[in-house]
């Protein structure tokens, strides 16, 4: 993968995340934090690719980091972590894998279909596992006094 | 906290909870804020049961009055700004600063708060589809424009669906079907050569990523019913999107 591709991907990840920010009615500085988060997530995913082969493992690690990012900014900007935690992972949603799964199912090639389907599920589980673990940790931390 | 007052507070707070769920908040957040708010308004015991389809709240005040109330949840969308404001309101009520009148006013402000205009939303459907085309390493400018255009069409359809009473599975199916039809036709007429990236890019704008993630989160924190409801819904939506693609490829005579 050459440098230009990397730059294009990171920039488009930023645009895509911002686009979803508009669809989900995120406003002001929260929109900025979310978009930058999306670009950072994809950048991290590509960076980890240098050392780690397994995409599922990378998805899991990125999802861990993204949720920590979300929880931290949620505290800073006094907003629920949901604002950032899901949207920053939008570039990682396995839409491509889902598409190829369907294509293989249609063309009746069973073996690639099953391989691709399991792969798609692996990615989805890796993503949500990361979110769930970090959320659980942050929820068990003692709350700052609410008032 | 005498009788009629108790009832009004209950109704008001329930409205807040309903709006929270309808804007896509997690169930545990809703239940926790409910307990905090009612405790701050002088309830001795609070029992809340919320799912993605209804909320039941039962409170017992210190003078022994027991009130139970329930609300049905309508369709759930994602409106982050609204969750943010409702959360702030819930926090203010919990700290006990607001009068009933102030609470009502705040609820009203949140209800009439503007969202992004229809034009902006539709434009961003196009932008997302275009950006995803490049993101998946598509490098053809004609195809990029097609992807952007199809994104706009999907945006118009999704927005138009807000004004018609139509089931959301049908909306996704129709969007996906029409997006794929346009892409396949363009290839048939020789405008573009490959449609893979265009279709993937447009599927990405439709895919219920948030629903799926929220469902898993609900499941893992122990709100099994809501988690399962959301999970089934997300899977049905994904199926509807896939059906749109499948039917189009049958219309265009077999696959590939």
In a domain, A147, yes or no: no
Q: Which residues of B touch A134 (CB under 8 A)?
A: none
Number of domains forming the structure of chain A: 1
Tell me whether strands B43-50 and B66-72 are parallel, antiparallel or unpaired: unpaired
Q: What confidence tens digit (pLDDT) does each residue in A7-52 have?
A: 999 999 999 999 999 999 998 899 999 999 999 999 999 999 999 9
Test B132 with A89 for CB contact under 8 angstroms. no
Q: Tens of pLDDT along A83-126?
A: 888 889 888 888 888 888 888 888 788 898 899 889 988 888 88
Structural domain includes residue A52:
yes
**Whole domain around residue A110: which residue ranges?**
3-140
**Cα A51 from Cα B212, distance rounded (Å):** 29
B91, B213, B255: residue with CB nearest A128: B213
pLDDT surpasses 60 at B71: yes
**Contact at 8 Å (CB) between B69 and B90?**
no
Three-state DSSP class for residue B49:
strand
| Window 55-114 of A, Cβ < 8 Å to B | 78-80, 82-83, 86-87, 89-91, 93, 95-96, 98-99, 102-103, 106-107
How many Å apart are CA B219 and CA B213, to the nearest integer? 10
Nearest to B246 among A89, A102, A132 (CB): A102
Number of Cβ pairs < 8 A linking chain A and chain B: 134
| Bridge partners for B60 per DSSP | B45, B66
A15: closest chain B residue by CA: B131
- Report the mean per-residue pLDDT for chain B: 87
Residue B81 and residue B19 in contact, taking contact as beta carbons nearer than 8 Å? no
Copy the structure tokens of residue B117.
């205009």
ipTM attached to this prediction: 0.87
Task: Indicate yes or no: CB of B204 within 8 angstroms of CB of A95.
Answer: yes
Q: What are phi and psi of B185, to 5 degrees?
A: -65, -45
**C-alpha closest to that of A63 among A78, A84, A35, A77:** A84
The answer to whether A135 and A67 are in contact (CB under 8 A) is: yes
Strand partners, B71: B55
Q: What is the mean pLDDT of residues B62-73?
A: 87
């Amino acid at each position: 993968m050459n440098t230009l591709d990397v730059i294009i991907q990171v920039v488009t990840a930023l645009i895509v995340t911002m686009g979803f920010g508009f669809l989900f009615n995120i406003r002001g500085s929260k929109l900025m934090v979310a978009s930058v988060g999306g670009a950072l997530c994809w950048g991290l995913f590509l960076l980890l690719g240098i050392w780690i082969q397994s995409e599922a493992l990378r998805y899991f690690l990125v999802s861990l980091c993204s949720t920590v990012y979300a929880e931290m900014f949620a505290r800073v900007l006094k907003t629920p972590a949901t604002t950032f935690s899901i949207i920053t992972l939008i570039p990682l949603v396995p839409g491509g894998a889902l598409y190829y799964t369907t294509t293989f199912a249609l063309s009746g090639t069973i073996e690639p279909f099953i391989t691709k389907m399991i792969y798609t599920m692996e990615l989805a589980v890796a993503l949500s596992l990361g979110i769930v673990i970090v959320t659980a940790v942050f929820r068990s931390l003692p709350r700052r006094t609410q008032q | 906290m005498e009788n009629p007052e108790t009832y009004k507070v209950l109704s008001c707070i329930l409205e807040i909870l309903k709006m929270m769920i309808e804007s896509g908040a997690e169930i545990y957040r809703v239940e926790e804020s409910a307990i905090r708010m009612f405790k701050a308004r002088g309830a001795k015991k609070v029992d809340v049961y919320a799912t993605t389809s209804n909320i039941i709240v039962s409170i017992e005040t210190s003078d022994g009055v027991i009130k139970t109330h329930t609300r049905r949840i309508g369709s759930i969308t994602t409106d982050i700004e609204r969750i943010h404001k409702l959360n702030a309101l819930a926090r203010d009520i919990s700290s006990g600063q607001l009068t009933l009148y102030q609470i009502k006013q705040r609820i009203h402000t949140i209800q009439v708060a503007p969202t992004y205009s229809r034009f902006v939303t539709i434009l961003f459907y196009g932008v997302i589809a275009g950006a995803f085309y490049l993101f998946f390493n598509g490098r053809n400018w004609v195809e990029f424009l097609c992807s952007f255009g199809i994104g706009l069409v999907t945006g118009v359809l999704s927005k138009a669906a807000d004004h018609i009473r139509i089931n959301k599975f049908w909306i996704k199916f129709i969007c996906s079907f029409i997006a794929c039809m346009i892409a396949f036709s363009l290839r048939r007429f020789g405008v573009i050569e490959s449609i893979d990236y265009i279709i993937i890019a447009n599927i990405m704008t439709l895919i219920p990523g948030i629903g799926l993630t929220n469902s898993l989160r609900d499941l893992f924190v122990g709100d099994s019913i809501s988690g399962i409801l959301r999970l089934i819904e997300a899977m049905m939506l994904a199926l509807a999107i896939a059906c749109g693609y499948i039917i189009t490829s049958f219309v265009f005579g077999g696959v590939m």
